[in-house]
Structure 1
Amino acid sequence: MADAKARLDAARAAADEGFEGLEGHPDIEHAGFVHDAEKEYAEARATLALVSGAPLPSPEEVGVNAAAWLNGIAEAAGELRRVILDRLRQGDFDGCEALLEAMDDIYALLVTIDFPDAMTGGLRRTTDQTRGILERTRGDLTMAIVQRRATPEG
């Protein structure tokens, strides 16, 4: 986890340096790839926090705009699914339900956002995908827990 934190700090420093170079160039700043970079950074920060057991960081804590943060946390739900599945494959059930709850909290927040896609960077579609990921993960985790309880050593 320390390595991931160090890499995120380096990414933030590089992004800040790049953003400084964009001052006075709104055509580049608003072309889309800056939003994508911020979204990926928000996703990484959210994933690291939640996997570490920390609370979801706010947009201000992450240092990105609201649209990038919302899309980033939506994509973090997919990363949490991968973490849960990896843990289940290893027989490590600890923390899986807490991660599922974090996914649920992310989705509950996302469905309250009702702004045009042009303002939110396509959040509506991403929210719909998050719901599917959440429900598949809930089903997979439920089946794994039921199967574990059904075994003699479970």
Structure 2
Amino acid sequence: MRDDDVISLSGLVLEVARGLERSVACVHRGHGLQGNEFSALIRLSRNPGRQMRMSALASQLGVSNSGTTSIVDRLAARGLVTRDVDPADRRSWVVQLTDDGDDLLRADVADLLPVLREVLVAPLGDDAAAFVGVLERVRAEVAPGATAR
């Protein structure tokens, strides 16, 4: 691939990411969520007991520990998560999704799916599954701490 093609490819990826981010942010704002709050809720919902250590959540969000604390503080103030000392390690905190948080997340996802199908899945058509595989390979390079879906 020529140098110019590489620059064009990276530009396209960034443009698509920004456009997708704008589309989903509108849905999240409609549910009172901002920034990485949706990502925190969805990650908690996918873990056993709907809970994670703060440090693991920070790693998966790609956010600093203090940034994660801010996110969790906002969510806790709304009753969407709780944060307690980890009984197995009193130096750590465990964040857990509440029933109210799960209800909000479900409502957000119900509104989000049609948007994602329209702006992401539909243009990919039959290539969607292959695209997921490609993105997972790229993510492994740029975000090695990220976990599978």
TM > 0.5 between the two?
Answer: no
Structure showing the higher strand proportion among its residues:
2
TM-score by length of structure 2 reads: 0.31
Structure showing the higher helix proportion among its residues:
1
Higher relative contact order structure (alpha carbons within 8 Å, sequence separation ≥ 6): 2
TM-score by length of structure 1 reads: 0.31
